Amino acid sequence: MLRLIVLAVLVCGVLSSPRTSGVKTGTVIEPKNDKVFGCYHTNWSQYRPGAGQFFPYDIDPFLCTHLFYSFAKIANGVLAPYEWNDESTDWSKGMFEHFTDLKMQNPGLKTLLAVGGWTHGSAGFTEVVASASSRKKFNDHAIGYLRKWKFDGLDLDWEYPGDNVRGDDPSKRPENRELLTVWCAELRAAFEAESAATGQERLLLTAAVAAGKGNMDAAYEINKFQASLDWINLMSYDLRGAWESVTGHHTTTRPHSEDDADTQLLTVEWAANEWLARGTPASKLVLGMGSYGRAFTLAGAENGVNAPASGGASKGTYTRETGFWSYYEICEKLAQGFKVEEEPVRQIIYAHSATEWVGYDDINSLDRKGAIMQGLGLRGGMVWALDLDDFRGTFCGQGTWPLIKKMKHMCLGGDYSPPPAPTTVPTLPPTTRDPNAPTDPPTQPPTRDPNNPCAGVPDGVMVESGPCSPEFHHCSGGQIIHTQSCGSPLVFNEACSCCDYTANTPSCQN
């Protein structure tokens, strides 16, 4: 009964009654020269606690030209929802509908459904591209699914086709590189045929693609597959991270001569130029930017770039991911005394305490990415993700959406008034964690009631269904409200609240 009550509260109090904390106003975007500023929304941000909780109806519909809903998945060879409340029901609107309803406020806005993501893996995509019949099955279903939920297109986020890119993933196949080209051509043809037959505006087709050389080589026939796409979203972030033994900025702008040859390629500048050099027109390339930072635990007294590190830094207060901090959580760290540094050769900023280090962008360092975008004449930019900026204006003293407003200006032009630097440290929400409290996750997950692993667990937290299991539960009110499963061969790792390999997962080490 308690589970039903909790679910009813969520449905009636959250889904049916969107927050109305302020009236959104703005001008319908009319980008010049078909410029793009795309913004990704993550459907798991609804589970964050307190001030970090984020829903589609929290999005300002005048910020972006295109919104991407992340993620749908592939199940039984066709599109399917990831979350329990993505689709509407007879008794409540779902998140898809709240998302596409934003076009009622801004008729110039376009919404796309993104399928895949890192956690999804390759298996579903491999199943789809394997034959002409399986591709047609997906394509035909996708058209109906996108129209039903009023999306304007599909964004393919296959991480990644080809070989050598997902460790021990058994679905990796070298032939996927060529099959992706075939599939995109057939999907685009299906979208065009449906538009011609119905008179509706053609569905858009885009793809989120890798920025690292190894993935570029293995995953894409770059000069061919892009021909079927409206544009490509270059994921020029996550280039460095806590999987390394030294600190590194995940959106490094330019290389440094002191880095080794491989690291010098892990830059935004190199990635953008390489996609162009391999045959992508500048009019089809959209530069990715991040509204978050990758954070490390320092392993000694050094605190610069390439300082020794011992893994990811503490979990974000709201993202609850090890070594992954939203911009507003970084502002929280700055308020606690982190020192900001600039590295002019790499054209980056970072911040550190005595024990932790984070690389990120602020409204000033974003200018370096804007210079690349404009200098190369790219189609525009995109951001991962809306829910990681200071969307409430609570933390950073720079008003609402400070990073995304700056990115919009860089991509689309128009008036822009940079927010003044705060003269005082912002007052942080009462849900902020005590900076002196221990933050390291336990080496083993806590003992839980096997009949109810959510018992005693805070709202919004995700827990394993059992040791070393791919299945995990979302908790609220001490009860399970939704269950998901990681794609093979991944299992759920509570230490990072993510799907991970067994070698990295504490509960698999017994």
Residue 53 lies in a domain: yes
Q: Read off the pLDDT of residues 312-327 as tens digits, 9 standing for 90 and up.
A: 999 999 999 999 999 9
- 499 and 379 within one domain: no
pLDDT digits (tens, 9 = 90+) for 456-506: 777 667 788 888 888 888 776 777 766 777 665 667 877 766 666 676 788
The answer on 256 and 136 residing in a single domain is yes
| CATH classification at residue 271 | 3.20.20.80
- At residue 505, the pLDDT reads 80
* Inter-axis angle of helices 268-277 and 366-375, nearest 10: 20
pLDDT at residue 304, rounded to an integer? 95
Say whether both 376 and 488 belong to one domain: no
Q: What's residue 424's pLDDT? A: 47
Query: Are 380 and 477 members of one domain?
Result: no
Residue 357: per-residue pLDDT: 98
The pLDDT score that the predictor gives to residue 318 is 95
Report pLDDT for 499. 67
Evaluate if residue 29 carries a pLDDT over 90. no
- Return the amino acid letter for 213: K
Would residue 500 count as lying in a domain? Answer: yes
Across 3-7, 77-81, 217-221, 479-483, the highest mean pLDDT is recorded for 77-81
Q: Which residue has the higher pLDDT, 504 or 331?
A: 331
Kind of pairing, strands 110-116 and 66-75? parallel
Q: Which residues are catalytic?
A: 159
Amino acid at 123: A
Residue 260 lies in a domain: yes
Asked whether residue 402 falls in the same domain as residue 469, the answer is no
Are the C-beta atoms of 126 and 173 separated by less than 8 Å?
yes
Q: Are 495 and 489 in contact (CB under 8 A)?
A: no
Report if pTM > 0.75: yes
Same domain assignment for residues 503 and 371:
no
Q: Which domain holds residue 74?
A: 33-290+361-412
Same domain, 244 and 381: yes
Is 437 part of a structural domain of the chain?
A: no
Residue 118 falls inside a structural domain = yes
pLDDT at 31 over 50: no
Q: What is the 3-state secondary structure (H, E, C) of 431-485?
A: CCCCCCCCCCCCCCCCCCCCCCCCCCCCCCCEEECCCCCCEEEEEECCEEEEEEE
d(CA 386, CA 401): 8
Quick: pLDDT tens for 230-245.
Answer: 999 999 999 999 999 9
What's the helix, strand, coil split of the chain in %, to 5?
A: 30, 20, 50
Torsion of CA 115, 230, 175, 145, to 10 degrees: 40
Find the helix packing angle between 402-412 and 366-375, rounded to 10°.
20
Residue 256 lies in a domain: yes
How large is the average pLDDT for residues 12-20?
Answer: 38
Q: Where among 412, 434, 450 does a domain terminate?
A: 412
60 and 177 fall within a common domain: yes
Structural domain count of the chain? 2
* Beta carbons within 8 Å of 419's beta carbon, 6+ residues apart: 363, 397, 398, 399, 402
What is the spatial order of strands in the sheet that 471-476 belongs to?
462-464, 471-476, 479-485
Q: What is the pLDDT of residue 486?
A: 67
> Amino acid identity, residue 132?
A
Instruction: Tell me, yes or no, whether 392 and 480 share the same domain.
Output: no
207-213: average pLDDT: 95
Q: Is residue 188 part of a domain?
A: yes
Pairing of strands 285-290, 231-234: parallel
Q: CB burial class (10 A; 0-12, 13-18, 19+) of residue 430?
A: exposed
Q: Is the pLDDT of residue 307 over 60?
A: yes
pLDDT value of position 26: 42
Diameter of the chain measured on Cα atoms: 66
pLDDT digit string, tens, across residues 370-403 = 999 999 999 999 999 999 999 999 999 999 999 9
Please indicate, yes or no, if residue 329 is contained in any of the structural domains. Answer: no
Whether 380 and 491 share a structural domain = no
Indicate if 99 and 214 belong to the same structural domain. Answer: yes
Instruction: Verify that 406 and 491 share a domain, yes or no.
Output: no
Q: Which of 412, 441, 476 is the last residue of a domain?
A: 412
* pLDDT tier for residue 1 given thresholds of 50, 70 and 90: very low
Report the distance separating Cα 390 and Cα 362, nearest Å.
Answer: 11
- DSSP at 75: E
Ramachandran angles phi, psi of 298, nearest 5°? -70, 140
Give residue for tokens 């005048």: 62
24 pLDDT more than 70: no
Residue 379 contacts residue 285 (beta carbons within 8 Å): yes
pLDDT in tens, 419-438: 766 544 444 444 333 333 33
Task: Point out the domain boundary residue: 375, 391, 412.
Answer: 412
Report how far residue 472's alpha carbon sits from residue 485's, in angstroms, rounded to the nearest whole number. Answer: 6
